[in-house]
Chains A and B, each alone.
Chain A
Amino acid sequence: MTALVVAEHDNKALKDATAKTVTAAAQLGSLVHVLVAGLNCGAVAEAAAKLAGVEKVLVADDPLYAQMVAETMEALILSLAGKYDAILAPATANGKNILPRVAAKLDVPQISEIVKVVSPDTFERPIYAGNAIQTVQAPAGKKVISVRTTAFKAAEATGSAAIEKIAAASDPGTAKFIGEELSKSERPDLTSAKIVVSGGRGLQSGENFKLLEKIADKLHAALGASRAAVDAGFVPNDFQVGQTGKVVAPDLYIAVGISGAIQHLAGMKDSKVIAAINKDEEAPIFQIADVGLVADLFKAIPEMVEELNRLGL
Protein backbone atom coordinates (compact mmCIF):
# COMPACT_ATOMS: atom_id res chain seq x y z
CA MET A 1 0.00 0.00 0.00
CA THR A 2 1.31 3.44 -0.93
CA ALA A 3 0.03 6.86 0.08
CA LEU A 4 0.60 10.18 -1.64
CA VAL A 5 0.92 13.30 0.51
CA VAL A 6 0.37 16.66 -1.16
CA ALA A 7 3.05 19.01 0.22
CA GLU A 8 2.23 22.43 1.61
CA HIS A 9 4.92 25.00 0.86
CA ASP A 10 5.60 28.48 -0.50
CA ASN A 11 8.21 27.40 -3.11
CA LYS A 12 10.97 28.31 -0.67
CA ALA A 13 10.23 26.29 2.45
CA LEU A 14 8.31 23.15 3.25
CA LYS A 15 5.58 23.81 5.80
CA ASP A 16 5.46 21.91 9.05
CA ALA A 17 1.93 20.80 8.08
CA THR A 18 3.49 18.43 5.53
CA ALA A 19 5.68 16.69 8.11
CA LYS A 20 2.60 16.13 10.26
CA THR A 21 0.57 14.78 7.36
CA VAL A 22 3.41 12.36 6.58
CA THR A 23 3.04 11.00 10.13
CA ALA A 24 -0.69 10.42 9.59
CA ALA A 25 0.00 8.76 6.20
CA ALA A 26 2.58 6.42 7.75
CA GLN A 27 -0.01 5.38 10.36
CA LEU A 28 -2.13 3.99 7.52
CA GLY A 29 0.60 1.37 7.30
CA SER A 30 1.66 2.55 3.89
CA LEU A 31 4.76 3.61 2.05
CA VAL A 32 4.68 7.38 1.77
CA HIS A 33 5.40 9.46 -1.34
CA VAL A 34 5.28 13.25 -1.22
CA LEU A 35 4.16 15.40 -4.14
CA VAL A 36 5.84 18.81 -4.33
CA ALA A 37 4.18 20.95 -7.00
CA GLY A 38 5.63 24.40 -7.37
CA LEU A 39 7.98 26.65 -9.27
CA ASN A 40 11.71 26.67 -8.50
CA CYS A 41 10.87 24.53 -5.51
CA GLY A 42 14.03 22.40 -5.36
CA ALA A 43 14.74 23.32 -1.75
CA VAL A 44 11.23 22.23 -0.79
CA ALA A 45 11.72 18.84 -2.47
CA GLU A 46 15.01 18.36 -0.63
CA ALA A 47 13.36 19.15 2.70
CA ALA A 48 10.56 16.69 1.92
CA ALA A 49 13.11 14.00 1.04
CA LYS A 50 14.57 14.29 4.54
CA LEU A 51 11.29 13.49 6.30
CA ALA A 52 11.48 10.14 8.10
CA GLY A 53 9.18 7.56 6.54
CA VAL A 54 9.12 9.13 3.07
CA GLU A 55 10.19 6.72 0.33
CA LYS A 56 10.02 9.01 -2.67
CA VAL A 57 9.43 12.68 -3.47
CA LEU A 58 7.76 13.59 -6.76
CA VAL A 59 8.51 17.10 -7.99
CA ALA A 60 6.47 18.91 -10.59
CA ASP A 61 8.45 22.12 -11.09
CA ASP A 62 6.51 24.23 -13.56
CA PRO A 63 5.06 27.76 -13.87
CA LEU A 64 1.61 26.11 -13.77
CA TYR A 65 2.18 25.36 -10.10
CA ALA A 66 3.73 28.66 -9.00
CA GLN A 67 0.62 28.95 -6.84
CA MET A 68 -1.47 25.97 -5.90
CA VAL A 69 -4.50 26.75 -8.05
CA ALA A 70 -7.07 24.04 -7.30
CA GLU A 71 -7.96 23.21 -10.91
CA THR A 72 -4.36 22.64 -12.04
CA MET A 73 -3.52 20.74 -8.85
CA GLU A 74 -6.56 18.51 -9.40
CA ALA A 75 -5.32 17.59 -12.88
CA LEU A 76 -1.81 16.84 -11.60
CA ILE A 77 -2.94 14.70 -8.66
CA LEU A 78 -5.41 12.78 -10.85
CA SER A 79 -2.61 12.02 -13.31
CA LEU A 80 -0.81 10.23 -10.46
CA ALA A 81 -3.78 8.85 -8.50
CA GLY A 82 -3.88 5.48 -10.26
CA LYS A 83 -0.75 4.32 -8.45
CA TYR A 84 -1.89 5.22 -4.94
CA ASP A 85 -4.18 3.65 -2.36
CA ALA A 86 -4.55 6.84 -0.37
CA ILE A 87 -4.16 10.55 -1.07
CA LEU A 88 -3.67 12.88 1.87
CA ALA A 89 -3.26 16.61 2.32
CA PRO A 90 -3.05 18.81 5.38
CA ALA A 91 -6.33 20.62 6.11
CA THR A 92 -4.82 23.99 5.21
CA ALA A 93 -6.55 26.52 2.97
CA ASN A 94 -4.78 24.85 0.02
CA GLY A 95 -5.59 21.30 1.10
CA LYS A 96 -9.24 22.17 1.67
CA ASN A 97 -9.40 23.89 -1.70
CA ILE A 98 -7.83 21.09 -3.74
CA LEU A 99 -8.61 17.73 -2.15
CA PRO A 100 -12.43 17.53 -2.55
CA ARG A 101 -11.99 18.03 -6.32
CA VAL A 102 -9.74 14.98 -6.40
CA ALA A 103 -12.16 12.91 -4.28
CA ALA A 104 -15.12 13.82 -6.48
CA LYS A 105 -13.28 12.87 -9.67
CA LEU A 106 -12.21 9.56 -8.13
CA ASP A 107 -15.80 9.04 -6.90
CA VAL A 108 -14.54 8.58 -3.35
CA PRO A 109 -16.12 10.10 -0.23
CA GLN A 110 -13.49 12.37 1.33
CA ILE A 111 -12.77 12.12 5.03
CA SER A 112 -12.09 15.63 6.30
CA GLU A 113 -9.78 16.72 9.11
CA ILE A 114 -8.93 13.42 10.75
CA VAL A 115 -7.45 13.69 14.24
CA LYS A 116 -6.65 10.00 14.73
CA VAL A 117 -5.93 6.92 12.64
CA VAL A 118 -7.76 4.11 14.45
CA SER A 119 -6.92 1.52 11.79
CA PRO A 120 -5.98 1.79 8.11
CA ASP A 121 -9.64 2.33 7.15
CA THR A 122 -11.06 3.88 10.33
CA PHE A 123 -10.54 7.42 11.53
CA GLU A 124 -11.67 9.91 14.14
CA ARG A 125 -12.70 13.39 13.13
CA PRO A 126 -14.35 16.28 14.99
CA ILE A 127 -17.85 17.39 14.00
CA TYR A 128 -20.10 20.18 15.34
CA ALA A 129 -17.13 22.47 16.03
CA GLY A 130 -15.38 19.73 17.97
CA ASN A 131 -18.34 19.16 20.30
CA ALA A 132 -18.52 15.56 19.09
CA ILE A 133 -15.99 13.12 17.70
CA GLN A 134 -17.08 10.88 14.85
CA THR A 135 -15.43 7.50 14.28
CA VAL A 136 -15.83 6.76 10.62
CA GLN A 137 -14.93 3.77 8.44
CA ALA A 138 -14.06 4.28 4.78
CA PRO A 139 -15.31 1.86 2.12
CA ALA A 140 -12.84 -0.40 0.29
CA GLY A 141 -10.89 1.36 -2.43
CA LYS A 142 -8.94 4.56 -2.58
CA LYS A 143 -8.99 6.88 0.39
CA VAL A 144 -8.92 10.65 0.19
CA ILE A 145 -8.15 12.23 3.55
CA SER A 146 -7.42 15.68 4.90
CA VAL A 147 -5.46 15.85 8.12
CA ARG A 148 -5.86 18.19 11.08
CA THR A 149 -2.20 18.80 11.64
CA THR A 150 -2.42 19.82 15.31
CA ALA A 151 -3.33 16.19 16.10
CA PHE A 152 -0.15 14.62 14.67
CA LYS A 153 3.55 14.97 15.50
CA ALA A 154 5.82 16.13 12.71
CA ALA A 155 7.92 13.43 11.04
CA GLU A 156 11.57 14.08 11.86
CA ALA A 157 14.13 15.19 9.32
CA THR A 158 16.22 12.04 9.51
CA GLY A 159 15.44 10.37 6.18
CA SER A 160 16.87 10.50 2.69
CA ALA A 161 14.28 9.69 0.06
CA ALA A 162 14.81 9.67 -3.69
CA ILE A 163 13.64 12.73 -5.63
CA GLU A 164 11.97 12.12 -8.99
CA LYS A 165 11.00 14.83 -11.46
CA ILE A 166 7.58 14.44 -13.02
CA ALA A 167 5.91 16.20 -15.91
CA ALA A 168 3.26 18.86 -15.48
CA ALA A 169 -0.33 17.87 -16.24
CA SER A 170 -2.62 19.85 -18.51
CA ASP A 171 -4.08 23.23 -17.58
CA PRO A 172 -7.89 23.23 -17.52
CA GLY A 173 -7.76 27.02 -17.92
CA THR A 174 -10.87 27.66 -15.85
CA ALA A 175 -9.24 29.73 -13.12
CA LYS A 176 -6.28 32.04 -12.91
CA PHE A 177 -4.18 33.42 -10.08
CA ILE A 178 -4.17 37.22 -10.03
CA GLY A 179 -2.37 38.27 -6.88
CA GLU A 180 -1.80 37.87 -3.21
CA GLU A 181 -1.72 40.10 -0.18
CA LEU A 182 0.10 38.23 2.54
CA SER A 183 0.43 39.46 6.10
CA LYS A 184 4.07 40.12 6.85
CA SER A 185 5.30 39.30 10.30
CA GLU A 186 8.54 38.57 12.10
CA ARG A 187 6.61 36.50 14.61
CA PRO A 188 6.26 32.72 14.46
CA ASP A 189 3.54 31.19 12.33
CA LEU A 190 0.20 30.97 14.14
CA THR A 191 -0.36 27.26 13.50
CA SER A 192 3.10 26.12 14.59
CA ALA A 193 4.00 28.61 17.37
CA LYS A 194 4.70 27.26 20.86
CA ILE A 195 2.89 30.18 22.46
CA VAL A 196 -0.10 32.05 21.03
CA VAL A 197 -1.47 35.32 22.39
CA SER A 198 -4.98 35.98 21.11
CA GLY A 199 -7.20 39.03 21.40
CA GLY A 200 -10.94 39.41 21.17
CA ARG A 201 -13.62 42.03 21.11
CA GLY A 202 -12.40 43.23 24.53
CA LEU A 203 -9.40 44.83 22.83
CA GLN A 204 -11.84 47.42 21.41
CA SER A 205 -9.61 48.50 18.50
CA GLY A 206 -6.84 47.42 16.17
CA GLU A 207 -4.61 50.01 17.79
CA ASN A 208 -4.97 48.21 21.13
CA PHE A 209 -3.58 44.99 19.63
CA LYS A 210 -0.20 46.72 20.01
CA LEU A 211 -0.54 45.93 23.72
CA LEU A 212 -0.64 42.24 22.87
CA GLU A 213 2.30 42.61 20.49
CA LYS A 214 4.46 43.59 23.47
CA ILE A 215 3.65 40.34 25.23
CA ALA A 216 3.94 38.33 22.03
CA ASP A 217 7.39 39.75 21.30
CA LYS A 218 8.50 39.06 24.85
CA LEU A 219 7.38 35.42 24.68
CA HIS A 220 8.24 34.79 21.00
CA ALA A 221 4.57 34.09 20.52
CA ALA A 222 2.29 34.27 17.51
CA LEU A 223 -0.68 36.63 17.53
CA GLY A 224 -4.20 35.32 17.05
CA ALA A 225 -7.71 36.67 17.32
CA SER A 226 -11.32 35.70 17.78
CA ARG A 227 -13.82 36.04 14.96
CA ALA A 228 -15.31 39.10 16.67
CA ALA A 229 -11.97 40.91 16.51
CA VAL A 230 -11.49 40.03 12.82
CA ASP A 231 -15.07 40.95 11.88
CA ALA A 232 -14.60 44.30 13.62
CA GLY A 233 -11.54 44.90 11.44
CA PHE A 234 -9.04 45.03 14.34
CA VAL A 235 -6.76 42.48 12.60
CA PRO A 236 -6.64 40.65 9.24
CA ASN A 237 -8.55 37.43 8.52
CA ASP A 238 -5.49 35.20 8.78
CA PHE A 239 -5.37 35.87 12.54
CA GLN A 240 -8.67 34.08 13.15
CA VAL A 241 -8.64 31.04 15.43
CA GLY A 242 -11.78 28.91 15.51
CA GLN A 243 -14.11 26.38 13.90
CA THR A 244 -13.80 27.96 10.48
CA GLY A 245 -10.50 29.75 10.93
CA LYS A 246 -7.21 28.25 12.03
CA VAL A 247 -6.95 25.40 14.49
CA VAL A 248 -4.03 25.76 16.89
CA ALA A 249 -2.67 23.63 19.72
CA PRO A 250 0.32 25.48 21.21
CA ASP A 251 1.96 24.72 24.56
CA LEU A 252 0.42 27.91 25.91
CA TYR A 253 -2.61 29.84 24.62
CA ILE A 254 -3.28 33.20 26.25
CA ALA A 255 -6.80 34.47 25.49
CA VAL A 256 -7.16 38.18 26.18
CA GLY A 257 -10.57 39.83 26.12
CA ILE A 258 -12.09 36.75 24.50
CA SER A 259 -15.37 35.53 25.96
CA GLY A 260 -15.01 31.99 24.62
CA ALA A 261 -17.80 31.21 22.13
CA ILE A 262 -17.90 27.50 21.20
CA GLN A 263 -16.78 28.41 17.69
CA HIS A 264 -13.60 29.95 19.12
CA LEU A 265 -12.98 27.11 21.58
CA ALA A 266 -13.11 24.70 18.62
CA GLY A 267 -9.92 26.27 17.33
CA MET A 268 -7.82 26.23 20.50
CA LYS A 269 -9.12 23.83 23.12
CA ASP A 270 -6.41 21.26 22.40
CA SER A 271 -3.74 23.70 23.58
CA LYS A 272 -1.61 22.23 26.36
CA VAL A 273 -2.21 25.13 28.75
CA ILE A 274 -4.92 27.75 28.35
CA ALA A 275 -4.66 31.06 30.18
CA ALA A 276 -7.35 33.72 30.04
CA ILE A 277 -7.62 37.37 30.98
CA ASN A 278 -11.13 38.77 31.02
CA LYS A 279 -12.93 41.32 33.17
CA ASP A 280 -16.16 39.31 33.06
CA GLU A 281 -15.93 36.67 35.75
CA GLU A 282 -18.72 34.69 34.05
CA ALA A 283 -16.99 34.52 30.63
CA PRO A 284 -17.20 30.92 29.31
CA ILE A 285 -13.46 30.97 28.54
CA PHE A 286 -12.82 30.52 32.29
CA GLN A 287 -14.60 27.15 32.22
CA ILE A 288 -11.74 25.68 30.22
CA ALA A 289 -8.83 27.93 31.23
CA ASP A 290 -6.15 26.35 33.39
CA VAL A 291 -5.28 29.76 34.76
CA GLY A 292 -7.74 32.64 34.67
CA LEU A 293 -7.23 36.26 35.63
CA VAL A 294 -10.33 38.33 36.21
CA ALA A 295 -9.09 41.82 35.41
CA ASP A 296 -9.29 44.77 33.06
CA LEU A 297 -6.91 43.83 30.26
CA PHE A 298 -5.85 47.45 29.74
CA LYS A 299 -4.33 47.42 33.24
CA ALA A 300 -3.33 43.76 33.31
CA ILE A 301 -1.35 43.60 30.06
CA PRO A 302 1.13 46.42 30.83
CA GLU A 303 1.53 44.97 34.32
CA MET A 304 2.19 41.56 32.83
CA VAL A 305 4.96 42.95 30.61
CA GLU A 306 6.56 44.48 33.72
CA GLU A 307 6.17 41.27 35.68
CA LEU A 308 7.78 39.22 32.91
CA ASN A 309 10.65 41.71 32.78
CA ARG A 310 11.04 41.62 36.56
CA LEU A 311 11.26 37.83 36.57
CA GLY A 312 13.54 37.80 33.57
CA LEU A 313 11.14 35.53 31.64
Chain B
Amino acid sequence: MKVLVPVKRVIDYNVKVRVKADQTGVDLANVKMSMNPFDEIAVEEAVRLKEKGKVGEVIVVSIGPAQASETIRTALAMGADRGILVKVEGEVEPLAVAKILKAICDAEQPGLVIAGKQAIDDDSNQTGQMLAALLGWGQATFAHQLELEETSAKVEREIDGGLQTVEVKFPAVITTDLRLNEPRYASLPNIMKAKKKPIEEKTPADYGVDSTLRLKVLKVSEPPKRQGGVKVKTVAEFVAKLHEIGAL
Protein backbone atom coordinates (compact mmCIF):
# COMPACT_ATOMS: atom_id res chain seq x y z
CA MET B 1 0.00 0.00 0.00
CA LYS B 2 1.26 3.45 -0.95
CA VAL B 3 1.02 6.38 1.47
CA LEU B 4 0.74 9.96 0.29
CA VAL B 5 1.87 12.77 2.60
CA PRO B 6 1.20 16.40 1.68
CA VAL B 7 3.68 18.87 3.19
CA LYS B 8 3.53 22.66 3.35
CA ARG B 9 6.36 25.16 3.53
CA VAL B 10 5.45 27.69 6.21
CA ILE B 11 7.07 30.35 8.36
CA ASP B 12 9.09 28.60 11.08
CA TYR B 13 7.09 28.21 14.27
CA ASN B 14 9.72 30.07 16.31
CA VAL B 15 9.61 33.19 14.15
CA LYS B 16 7.81 36.24 15.48
CA VAL B 17 5.32 37.16 12.76
CA ARG B 18 5.15 40.79 11.63
CA VAL B 19 2.26 42.32 9.75
CA LYS B 20 3.32 44.44 6.76
CA ALA B 21 2.76 48.18 7.13
CA ASP B 22 0.56 48.28 4.00
CA GLN B 23 -1.69 45.57 5.52
CA THR B 24 -1.40 43.27 2.50
CA GLY B 25 -0.09 40.34 4.52
CA VAL B 26 2.72 39.32 6.84
CA ASP B 27 6.38 39.96 6.14
CA LEU B 28 7.97 36.80 4.72
CA ALA B 29 11.14 38.45 3.36
CA ASN B 30 14.30 36.91 4.85
CA VAL B 31 12.26 34.92 7.33
CA LYS B 32 13.16 31.34 8.21
CA MET B 33 10.78 28.86 6.54
CA SER B 34 10.28 25.24 7.59
CA MET B 35 8.00 22.28 7.11
CA ASN B 36 4.65 22.78 8.83
CA PRO B 37 5.11 20.98 12.21
CA PHE B 38 1.97 18.85 11.82
CA ASP B 39 3.19 17.71 8.38
CA GLU B 40 6.50 16.67 9.94
CA ILE B 41 4.51 14.44 12.29
CA ALA B 42 2.67 13.05 9.23
CA VAL B 43 5.94 12.26 7.43
CA GLU B 44 7.33 10.63 10.58
CA GLU B 45 4.24 8.44 10.96
CA ALA B 46 4.35 7.34 7.31
CA VAL B 47 8.06 6.51 7.55
CA ARG B 48 7.54 4.54 10.77
CA LEU B 49 4.76 2.52 9.09
CA LYS B 50 7.14 1.82 6.24
CA GLU B 51 9.92 0.77 8.61
CA LYS B 52 7.49 -1.64 10.30
CA GLY B 53 6.67 -3.11 6.90
CA LYS B 54 3.04 -2.01 7.12
CA VAL B 55 3.13 0.16 4.01
CA GLY B 56 5.21 0.30 0.84
CA GLU B 57 6.14 3.52 -0.86
CA VAL B 58 5.89 6.93 0.86
CA ILE B 59 5.20 9.76 -1.60
CA VAL B 60 5.53 13.37 -0.48
CA VAL B 61 3.64 16.18 -2.23
CA SER B 62 4.11 19.90 -1.78
CA ILE B 63 2.07 22.59 -3.47
CA GLY B 64 3.92 25.88 -3.40
CA PRO B 65 6.84 27.90 -4.77
CA ALA B 66 10.08 26.43 -6.17
CA GLN B 67 11.61 26.55 -2.67
CA ALA B 68 9.02 24.03 -1.49
CA SER B 69 11.35 21.44 -3.06
CA GLU B 70 13.54 22.00 0.06
CA THR B 71 10.57 20.99 2.20
CA ILE B 72 10.17 17.85 0.08
CA ARG B 73 13.93 17.14 0.47
CA THR B 74 13.54 17.35 4.24
CA ALA B 75 10.80 14.70 4.08
CA LEU B 76 12.93 12.55 1.75
CA ALA B 77 15.80 12.80 4.24
CA MET B 78 13.44 11.59 6.97
CA GLY B 79 12.80 8.48 4.89
CA ALA B 80 10.12 9.20 2.27
CA ASP B 81 10.78 7.67 -1.15
CA ARG B 82 9.92 10.28 -3.76
CA GLY B 83 8.40 13.71 -4.14
CA ILE B 84 5.97 15.63 -6.30
CA LEU B 85 6.23 19.43 -6.38
CA VAL B 86 3.18 21.23 -7.75
CA LYS B 87 4.51 24.69 -8.47
CA VAL B 88 2.32 27.66 -7.58
CA GLU B 89 3.43 31.19 -6.76
CA GLY B 90 1.62 32.88 -3.89
CA GLU B 91 -1.21 31.58 -1.74
CA VAL B 92 -3.31 28.53 -2.54
CA GLU B 93 -6.59 27.98 -0.73
CA PRO B 94 -7.27 24.66 1.04
CA LEU B 95 -10.02 23.70 -1.43
CA ALA B 96 -7.67 24.11 -4.42
CA VAL B 97 -4.99 22.13 -2.55
CA ALA B 98 -7.55 19.39 -1.88
CA LYS B 99 -8.53 19.30 -5.57
CA ILE B 100 -4.89 18.95 -6.68
CA LEU B 101 -4.31 16.23 -4.08
CA LYS B 102 -7.45 14.44 -5.26
CA ALA B 103 -6.10 14.35 -8.82
CA ILE B 104 -2.78 13.01 -7.52
CA CYS B 105 -4.63 10.34 -5.51
CA ASP B 106 -6.59 9.37 -8.63
CA ALA B 107 -3.27 8.87 -10.45
CA GLU B 108 -1.22 7.28 -7.66
CA GLN B 109 -3.97 5.27 -5.91
CA PRO B 110 -2.55 5.43 -2.38
CA GLY B 111 -4.31 3.40 0.33
CA LEU B 112 -3.72 6.11 2.86
CA VAL B 113 -3.15 9.85 2.95
CA ILE B 114 -1.55 11.14 6.15
CA ALA B 115 -1.73 14.94 6.43
CA GLY B 116 -1.08 17.53 9.11
CA LYS B 117 -4.30 18.63 10.79
CA GLN B 118 -3.61 22.30 10.19
CA ALA B 119 -0.97 24.61 8.76
CA ILE B 120 0.38 27.07 11.30
CA ASP B 121 0.24 29.98 8.83
CA ASP B 122 -3.42 30.22 7.77
CA ASP B 123 -4.69 28.01 10.65
CA SER B 124 -7.51 26.73 8.41
CA ASN B 125 -7.70 23.06 9.44
CA GLN B 126 -9.56 22.08 6.25
CA THR B 127 -7.44 20.31 3.63
CA GLY B 128 -7.52 16.72 4.91
CA GLN B 129 -11.26 16.75 5.48
CA MET B 130 -11.89 18.36 2.07
CA LEU B 131 -9.71 15.80 0.33
CA ALA B 132 -11.53 12.92 2.03
CA ALA B 133 -14.90 14.36 0.97
CA LEU B 134 -13.83 14.92 -2.65
CA LEU B 135 -12.54 11.35 -2.84
CA GLY B 136 -15.58 9.96 -1.01
CA TRP B 137 -13.21 8.40 1.54
CA GLY B 138 -13.50 8.08 5.28
CA GLN B 139 -11.37 10.22 7.54
CA ALA B 140 -9.83 10.17 10.99
CA THR B 141 -8.76 13.65 11.96
CA PHE B 142 -6.58 14.78 14.90
CA ALA B 143 -4.93 11.37 15.26
CA HIS B 144 -3.32 10.63 18.62
CA GLN B 145 -2.53 6.99 17.92
CA LEU B 146 -2.76 4.89 14.81
CA GLU B 147 -2.99 1.15 14.28
CA LEU B 148 -3.18 -0.40 10.81
CA GLU B 149 -5.18 -3.57 10.25
CA GLU B 150 -5.82 -5.58 7.06
CA THR B 151 -8.43 -3.38 5.45
CA SER B 152 -8.83 -0.54 7.90
CA ALA B 153 -7.10 1.71 10.42
CA LYS B 154 -8.05 2.10 14.04
CA VAL B 155 -7.38 5.67 15.07
CA GLU B 156 -7.53 7.27 18.48
CA ARG B 157 -8.48 10.93 17.98
CA GLU B 158 -8.04 13.97 20.20
CA ILE B 159 -11.47 15.50 20.75
CA ASP B 160 -12.78 18.26 23.04
CA GLY B 161 -13.72 15.95 25.89
CA GLY B 162 -10.81 13.51 25.69
CA LEU B 163 -10.10 10.72 23.22
CA GLN B 164 -12.30 8.95 20.69
CA THR B 165 -11.55 5.82 18.68
CA VAL B 166 -12.84 5.37 15.13
CA GLU B 167 -12.24 2.75 12.50
CA VAL B 168 -11.81 3.90 8.89
CA LYS B 169 -11.75 1.64 5.88
CA PHE B 170 -8.94 1.99 3.35
CA PRO B 171 -8.50 4.11 1.36
CA ALA B 172 -8.71 6.83 4.01
CA VAL B 173 -7.37 10.21 5.04
CA ILE B 174 -5.78 10.62 8.46
CA THR B 175 -4.75 13.99 9.91
CA THR B 176 -2.16 14.24 12.65
CA ASP B 177 -2.34 15.84 16.06
CA LEU B 178 0.62 16.79 18.25
CA ARG B 179 0.94 13.63 20.31
CA LEU B 180 1.00 11.10 17.46
CA ASN B 181 4.80 10.91 17.46
CA GLU B 182 7.98 12.92 17.85
CA PRO B 183 9.53 13.50 14.43
CA ARG B 184 13.16 12.47 13.95
CA TYR B 185 16.05 14.62 12.86
CA ALA B 186 17.42 13.44 9.54
CA SER B 187 20.96 12.06 9.77
CA LEU B 188 23.69 13.42 7.51
CA PRO B 189 23.96 10.22 5.42
CA ASN B 190 20.18 10.30 4.91
CA ILE B 191 20.31 13.97 3.92
CA MET B 192 22.93 13.03 1.30
CA LYS B 193 20.85 10.06 0.12
CA ALA B 194 17.77 12.28 -0.17
CA LYS B 195 19.53 14.40 -2.78
CA LYS B 196 19.36 11.47 -5.17
CA LYS B 197 15.69 10.71 -4.63
CA PRO B 198 13.41 11.86 -7.46
CA ILE B 199 11.16 14.93 -7.32
CA GLU B 200 8.68 15.31 -10.16
CA GLU B 201 7.63 18.86 -11.06
CA LYS B 202 4.04 19.65 -12.00
CA THR B 203 1.63 22.57 -12.18
CA PRO B 204 -2.03 22.80 -11.09
CA ALA B 205 -2.96 22.88 -14.81
CA ASP B 206 -1.42 19.39 -15.21
CA TYR B 207 -4.18 18.22 -12.88
CA GLY B 208 -6.87 20.37 -14.45
CA VAL B 209 -7.21 22.49 -11.30
CA ASP B 210 -7.71 26.25 -11.31
CA SER B 211 -5.94 27.55 -8.21
CA THR B 212 -7.22 31.13 -8.50
CA LEU B 213 -8.06 32.51 -5.06
CA ARG B 214 -11.79 32.69 -4.38
CA LEU B 215 -11.69 34.41 -1.03
CA LYS B 216 -10.67 38.04 -1.24
CA VAL B 217 -8.32 39.17 1.52
CA LEU B 218 -9.21 42.81 2.09
CA LYS B 219 -6.51 43.39 4.67
CA VAL B 220 -4.26 41.80 7.23
CA SER B 221 -3.91 43.80 10.42
CA GLU B 222 -2.23 43.68 13.81
CA PRO B 223 -4.33 42.19 16.57
CA PRO B 224 -5.12 44.52 19.49
CA LYS B 225 -2.02 44.68 21.67
CA ARG B 226 -2.14 43.66 25.30
CA GLN B 227 -0.03 45.63 27.71
CA GLY B 228 1.64 43.97 30.64
CA GLY B 229 0.38 45.26 33.97
CA VAL B 230 2.02 45.15 37.37
CA LYS B 231 4.51 42.71 38.77
CA VAL B 232 4.21 42.00 42.48
CA LYS B 233 6.48 40.24 44.96
CA THR B 234 4.17 38.57 47.45
CA VAL B 235 1.15 36.33 47.27
CA ALA B 236 -0.80 38.78 49.45
CA GLU B 237 -0.19 41.60 46.95
CA PHE B 238 -1.06 39.27 44.07
CA VAL B 239 -4.43 38.31 45.52
CA ALA B 240 -5.11 41.89 46.67
CA LYS B 241 -4.43 43.27 43.20
CA LEU B 242 -6.70 40.69 41.52
CA HIS B 243 -9.38 41.52 44.08
CA GLU B 244 -8.96 45.24 43.49
CA ILE B 245 -9.51 44.96 39.74
CA GLY B 246 -12.56 42.80 40.31
CA ALA B 247 -11.10 39.55 38.99
CA LEU B 248 -11.50 37.72 42.31
Contact = CB atoms under 8 A, between A and B. Distances in A.
Instruction: Answer yes or no: are A and B bound together in one complex.
Output: yes
Contacts of A294: 231, 233
A181 B163 contact: yes
A132 B243 contact: no
Query: Chain A interface secondary structure, helix, strand, loop or mixed?
Result: mixed
Interface residues of A, number: 92
Contact of B238 (A98, A179, A304): A304
A291 B161 contact: no
A244 B118 contact: yes
B232 A287 contact: no
Contact of A293 (B19, B169, B232): B232
B245 interface: yes
A175 B168 contact: yes
Contact of A269 (B226, B242, B245): B226
A106 to B, nearest CB: 10
Interface string A88-104: 00001110111111111
B11 to A, nearest CB: 7
A105 B166 contact: no
A273 interface: yes
A80 interface: no
A215 to B, nearest CB: 11
Given A71-B139, A244-B118, A244-B178, A219 B248 contact: yes
Query: Chain B interface secondary structure, helix, strand, loop or mixed?
Result: mixed
Q: Tell me which of A102, A173, A288, A307 has the highest count of chain B C-beta atoms within 10 A of its own C-beta.
A: A307
Contacts of B130: 100-101, 103-104, 110
Interface stretch (A26-34, A48-56, A57-65, A121-129): A121-129
Contact of B13 (A74, A177, A263, A304): A263
Given A109-B94, A180-B159, 17 more contacts: A94-B160, A96-B141, A100-B125, A104-B134, A109-B93, A111-B215, A126-B223, A131-B17, A136-B216, A136-B218, A174-B137, A174-B138, A180-B161, A181-B165, A243-B123, A244-B38, A293-B232
A94 B172 CA distance: 18
A104 to B, nearest CB: 4
Contact of B120 (A129, A238, A313): A129
B223 A130 contact: yes
Interface string B21-39: 0000010000000000010
B167 A175 contact: yes
A126 B247 CA distance: 26
B247 A251 contact: yes
Interface in A167-221: 172-183, 191, 219
Contact of A177 (B120, B166, B215): B166
Interface of A: 10, 67, 69-71, 74, 92-94, 96-105, 107-113, 122, 126-139, 172-183, 191, 219, 227, 230-231, 236-238, 243-244, 246, 251-252, 262-263, 269, 272-275, 277, 281, 286-295, 300, 303-304, 307-308, 311, 313
B179 interface: yes
B29 to A, nearest CB: 15
15 contacts: A96-B141, A104-B131, A107-B95, A109-B94, A127-B220, A132-B19, A137-B217, A175-B168, A179-B164, A180-B164, A252-B242, A275-B242, A281-B231, A291-B245, A295-B233
B16 to A, nearest CB: 7
Given A101-B130, A128-B17, A286-B228, A175 B243 contact: no
Interface in B15-65: 16-17, 19, 26, 38
A100 B94 contact: yes
B55 to A, nearest CB: 19
B107 interface: no
Contact of A243 (B120, B142, B158): B120
Contacts of A292: 228-232
Contacts of B177: 237, 244
A98 B130 CA distance: 9
A182 B233 contact: no
Contacts of A290: 228-230, 245, 247
Interface string B132-159: 1110111111101000000000100111
